[in-house]
Homo-oligomer: A and B are copies of this chain.
């Protein structure tokens, strides 16, 4: 058994720009309401790690994703989420690792839960640092993120999702 997917992929990411996005981070329980995080203008990052992914890919991934021109300005010019400047909502999304087999999807290439949680946490931290470093004093930008392993109840409001796929 190889320790990585056959094509050597370590992570798959889908990016969508948003005007507002709201993600449940704690489901409702008896006696307590659901908890949500939200961002205004910015980028939603859906992320899935594959077997073989390691900590050393995180800084480059984050740097690439936050500096690529994956957003649009008001006038339709392409720009990065850092330059927009916009906020970031990170959504763990294991289904992105799915491979069709018959009429079902299989997720055998996905990283294990413990390792995945470590990488996810590191990814979130690196996004927070990068956003903090490049913070524009005039704009309120923030990093929000879902709870790894939970159902990602999401509400998204876009002016065109401008969906991109990036693989690492």
**A residues in contact (CB < 8 Å) with B:** 12, 14, 46, 64, 67-70, 78, 80, 91, 93, 95-96, 98, 100, 103-105, 151-166
Contacts and interface: CB of A to CB of B under 8 A. Distances in A.
A161 B93 contact: yes
B95 A162 contact: yes
A164 B96 contact: yes
Given A103-B67, A104-B68, A95 B155 contact: no
A49 to B, nearest CB: 14
A61 to B, nearest CB: 12
Nearest to A12: B165
A165 B104 contact: no
B95 A80 contact: no
Contact of A163 (B78, B96, B100, B162): B96
A53 to B, nearest CB: 17
